[in-house]
Amino acid sequence: MHIVVCVTLVEDPETPHDLLRVDEATKTAVRIGSGSQVMNPFDEQALEAALRIRDATSQPESVSISALTLCDGSDKAIKHALAMGADAAVMIVDPIFRQCDYHATAAGLAAAVRKLGNVDLVLTGRQMTDSDAGIVGAGLAELLKIPVITLARKIKVADSEVTVCRAIGEGEETMQATLPALITIAHELGAVRKPSLRETMRAGKKPITRLTKSDLNIPVEVFDPSSSHASVMELCKPLIESNCQWIAGESSADKAKALVDHLIAERIL
């Protein structure tokens, strides 16, 4: 079985909002000063799901896991994926992808998956932590013309079928699909493993394939801004306001009563 896991870099979700500004021209968030990028946490869970599938089989060597990323040249996400346990990696490195929309991103990933060939299962995170759009996974499945199941919390593969337990609201539902298929992983999958020292040392020896747009034969019109399938109408930082009121009173009991009266008046109690 060959599993492909799509991974990408995002701004560290722990970055304080004060270190980010909105570029009005491109409608994107731009980091101010020094900072760091990390693998999208939802993509980490997708890779964890792939590793659990391999762990569950009686013949782990029969399961091959490839990490696939579309990037501007940084191999940070790929190195992390290999250290976690992926067997190989594919990087799509081309400047044209830097400002592409969701459709162009999905088109690039789909072309790479086709080039790899004989892919049984594609896994993605449910969304990116920076845009929170959650579009690329389903779009990738549409372009590959394979079934898609979203928000998986558990995955089981048997023969030519994948069984998925989906997270929905306060409950869950079970769905099946015939392979090849694409599954997006929900954060309800649980905690991901940390790269072991052994896998971290092995990561440097694992194969990394680098591709460009010319290697993938993607139609140039896919990258034409005028034919974009999605656009950001507005991006802004949330306005945080605070209103502090002092509660007066001669004693603690008076202050407590005044506080309760105020909460009742504001319909908080």
Residues 191-235: tens digit of each pLDDT: 999 988 888 899 889 999 999 888 888 777 777 666 666 777 777
Q: 73-85 pLDDT, tens per residue?
A: 678 888 999 999 9
- Helix or strand or coil: residue 73? coil
256 and 128, same structural domain?
no
- Helix or strand or coil: residue 148? strand
249 and 153, same structural domain?
no
**Residue 33 Cα to chain centre, angstroms:** 24
146 and 112, same structural domain?
yes
String of DSSP letters for 151-187 = EEEEEEEETTEEEEEEEETTEEEEEEEESSEEEEEPG
Domain membership flag for residue 179? yes
110 and 40, same structural domain?
yes
63 and 19, same structural domain?
yes
Average pLDDT over residues 103-124: 92
Phi, psi of 204 (to 5 degrees): -65, -15
190 and 244, same structural domain?
no
Domain that residue 193 falls in: 2-227
Average pLDDT over residues 19-32: 75
248 and 121, same structural domain?
no
Domain membership flag for residue 234? no
244 and 165, same structural domain?
no
Q: Does the structure show a pLDDT above 80 at 181?
A: yes
- For the range 154-157, what are the long-range contacts, defined as Cβ-Cβ under 8 Å and sequence gap of 24 or more? 154/189, 155/49, 155/52, 155/53, 155/183, 156/56, 157/1, 157/53, 157/121
Average pLDDT over residues 46-54: 96
23 and 48, same structural domain?
yes
Q: What is the pTM of this model?
A: 0.80
Number of structural domains (the chain) is 2
Q: 54-72 pLDDT, tens per residue?
A: 999 989 999 999 999 987 6
267 and 135, same structural domain?
no
Percentage of the chain beyond pLDDT 70 is 91
Phi-psi region of 33 (alpha: psi -120 to 50; beta: other; left: phi over 0): left
Q: Does the structure show a pLDDT above 80 at 7?
A: yes
